[in-house]
A and B are shown apart, each in its own frame.
Chain A
Amino acid sequence: DVQLTQSPSFLSASEGDRVTITCRASQGIRSHLAWYQQKPGTAPKVLIYAASTLQSGVSSRFSGSGSGTEFTLTISSLQPEDFATYYCQQFNSYPFTFGQGTRLEIK
């Protein structure tokens, strides 16, 4: 199985900050990576797919980059609604594994 390791696991930031979350794959997954945002009590919501393509309706504050084994999700200017947990998921090979999550909290 492909292991996805996110860093950091916990991030404290302020409104207006620019933050970056990293997802590293245990083997190359080309660009077959998606990013999700999850708020307490709700299902995850897709933000980015194909490593860098913004899902329709998602704010342009979110951007993704990377290929192979290293990927990043960047939020350009944090808004109150962005404080949540973020996950990456790979679709290069079965089973479609997830990263362990990065919890983003207000400083």
Chain B
Amino acid sequence: QVQLQQWGAGLLKPSETLSLTCAVYGGSFSGYSWTWIRQTPGKGLEWIGEIDHSGSTNDNPSLKSRITMSVDTSKNQFSLKLRSVTAADTSVYYCARRGVTVVRGVLNIPYNYYYMDVWGKGTTVAVS
């Protein structure tokens, strides 16, 4: 059973860099995209970005200029750095796996359907 274990600093000062790492245990690292999501009471769930085992990324444009994501395939780990944090970045940060199921549609054309099927426990990050 796949499990995600995440860690990182929980208290930052404004302008510092948030740094989180997520380790994947018990399953394949390649073949999936690995995602960062954050949650605040006011803004709800926000998709931050994702990275695959080759290091290819997709970012949320609202955060793109401040984000760096990386992957260490030798350790089955992926990481997030968010620069120049402010109080608005105070959130619970989750790492998660983007699962995929292929469904054959009309004319037997395959379609990929995605969902976040494995989540870390979350890391509370406060900026003050």
Contacts and interface: CB of A to CB of B under 8 A. Distances in A.
B41 to A, nearest CB: 10
Interface stretch (B14-22, B73-81, B83-91, B113-121): B113-121
Nearest to A51: B113
B128 interface: no
B120 A100 contact: no
A87 B121 CA distance: 18
B45 A87 contact: yes
Contacts of B120: 43
Contacts, number: 65
Contact of B44 (A45, A94, A101): A101
A95 interface: yes
Nearest to B58: A94
Interface in B53-75: 58-62
A49 B101 contact: yes
Given A53-B113, A95-B58, 17 more contacts: A36-B116, A43-B120, A44-B45, A44-B116, A44-B119, A46-B99, A49-B101, A49-B115, A53-B103, A55-B115, A89-B45, A94-B58, A95-B49, A95-B61, A98-B44, A98-B47, A100-B44
Interface of B: 44-47, 49, 58-62, 94, 96, 99, 101, 103, 113-117, 119-122
